[in-house]
Amino acid sequence: MRHARCVLVGVAVGLASLVPAAPAAQPELSATTRQTGLPRTPEQRAVVFEHATLHFKVLPQDRRIQGDATLRFRAGQELATMVLDLDRAYQVSAVQVDGVALARKDWANPEGRMRITLPRAVAAQQGFQVRVVYAGAPHVATRAPWDGGLVWSSAPGGEPWVASAIQGEGCDLLWPCIDHPQGEPLLVDEYITVPAPLVAPGNGVLVDMQEHDGWRTWHWRARSPDTYAVAINVGPYEQLKGEYHSRFGNAIALAYWHLKGQDAKAQDLFDELPRMLDFFERQIGPYPFGDEKVGIVQTPYLGMEHQTINAYGNDYRKDKYGYDWLMQHEFSHEWFGNQLTNADWDDMWLHEGFGSYMQPLYLQYLRGQMEYHAALLDQRAKLSNRVPIVSGKPQTEQSVYDSQHGPGLDIYYKGSLMLHMLRGLVGDQAFFKTIRLAVYGTDDPRPGQFQPRHLSTPDYIAIVNEVTGRDYGWFFQVFLYRAALPELLAERDASGLALRWKTPGEVPFPVPVEVRIGANSGRIVTVPMPGGRGHVDLPPGELYTLDPQSRLLREEPRFAVAVRDAAERKAAADRAAAEKGRAEKGQAERGQTEKAKAAAKP
């Protein structure tokens, strides 16, 4: 790999006047806009989204954008109307269909789903274009990336620093789109116009940059980006550039846009990329967007998996394992999220579970078994097991990520630990073959010979069954479609140890169990469990250890105690903080009262 440093930012003359104004009160999002992943309308299901040409003019001083979107579709059936998702807070000044301006009565957007009456019916297999010109103040993310919207900030030098983070609420916070995982366009041309000399990194490849009248327009082109991955990033960036020579024979451009003043840390982060790429290409397969780039941009919030321009705001912190977990996790989504995309939010564990499993696997690649198992143990302590991670019906993003009413973090860690167990059950060769088939649709992927894919949970189960030649539906029923973990019951009898799997709803669970007989390096026997039951002979009083190699994901009281204790400690800390706040408020109020009394004395 070769590195070259390229400084793209000029002198920040005059930018002080462009620092964002103080935030104003923003309108409440409609229920439609707040939810991403609502079922598509019949019109949205009936089209192929071929091309989006998106023009964004970013006005940092006013915290506004001016948008001009031309969207090309191909109808799968005759259509008289088209429906797009767009936040109703924007003021739409013009709508055109195939260049024909529509009268105001021909479109409406009362709840964030814009219904457009076409000038004439579009025949099946006919292409048509919709243009929407709009402007306004995008919804502000108050707690990005958990809350969606734009982040308006200032770089250390006072220059504007702007970034989008719209996964939680969806693409309609930024542009007129089909706000569903299966609504991604086949091609996007994105034009981002910003005050010069600011820089605007984007998805895909840079076509050109034009500068005129104090403005810069950056033109980026990307194929099949996730709808929420179409990103805006603006700042006084400097760029690190490099090239990675892939094990598959292609050269991949590397780029990191970062703020000035932390050059050594930025270089250190950038130097991690070749090793991460090598890991993923060895373990999974070719980087999916090698003809575009590996891109990272420093953002004023923690991070997000924007295709080929991942948002990074972890402040160069390494975790206890000595690597930048955030960059590695977001980078994993280029495979699990951008190349393989969930068919519905109900299948989001395909992004987060696989992405989370890549972290223990990366530590195994770097340093071996001890840190692999240590990272898995960290994940095990975070499970809640209150709600199944797959419901079997369409879901929105909010319903999946909600830790109070939905699976929440279990889509990350339970998904990861289930994959670890599946790997032990079917073996490495079959396990990694299932991943390649899921991600690429082929067991022998080559750069340029595969397309992005949408996958559902049943699709992945079918792949596992096909690869192994066995029906593993029972396995996924327990871990994906049930909340509680299976429990392994062990009871001594006259001749040894009787084992039984206890599962929610008594679902069959014939997973073999390893038992170590004797202490320390005693012999390990594998106990078959047909019908969920098995037996191993043990001498009276002999020590035994269930699952000595930690292959099984199962209910264990010690983790339940740890989770309960952690929750109690948090609740106690919250109560103490609330009590302290009330005491300080009371003291301040008493102080004000005493001052008032003193002032009132003659």
What residues are annotated to the active site? 330, 412
Contacts of the segment 75-78: beta carbons below 8 A, 24+ positions apart: 75/46, 75/47, 75/122, 75/123, 75/124, 75/125, 75/126, 75/127, 75/128, 76/46, 76/47, 76/48, 76/124, 76/125, 77/46, 77/124, 78/121, 78/122, 78/123, 78/124
Distances (CA, A) of 253 to 3, 235, 241, 243, 273: 10, 21, 8, 5, 11
- The reply to whether 51 sits in an annotated binding site is no
Taking the C-alpha atoms of residue 52 and residue 55, their distance in angstroms, rounded to an integer, is 10
Q: 310 and 330 in contact (C-beta within 8 Å)?
A: yes
For residue 332, give the nearest of 305, 313, 309 by alpha carbon.
305
Q: In what helix (H) or strand (E) does residue 544 lie, and over which residues does it extend?
A: strand 544-546
Phi, psi of 160 (to 5 degrees): -60, 145
Q: Is 333 annotated as a binding residue?
A: yes
Distance in angstroms (rounded) separating the CA atoms of residues 263 and 81: 52
Token pair for residue 149?
Answer: 């919207």
Whether residue 329 is annotated as binding a ligand: the answer is yes
User: How far is CA 159 from each of CA 154, 162, 165, 258, 467, rounded to the nearest angstrom?
Assistant: 5, 10, 20, 13, 54
**CA–CA gap between residue 217 and residue 211 (Å, rounded):** 6
**Binding annotation:** 329, 333, 352
**Binding annotation for Zn(2+):** 329, 333, 352
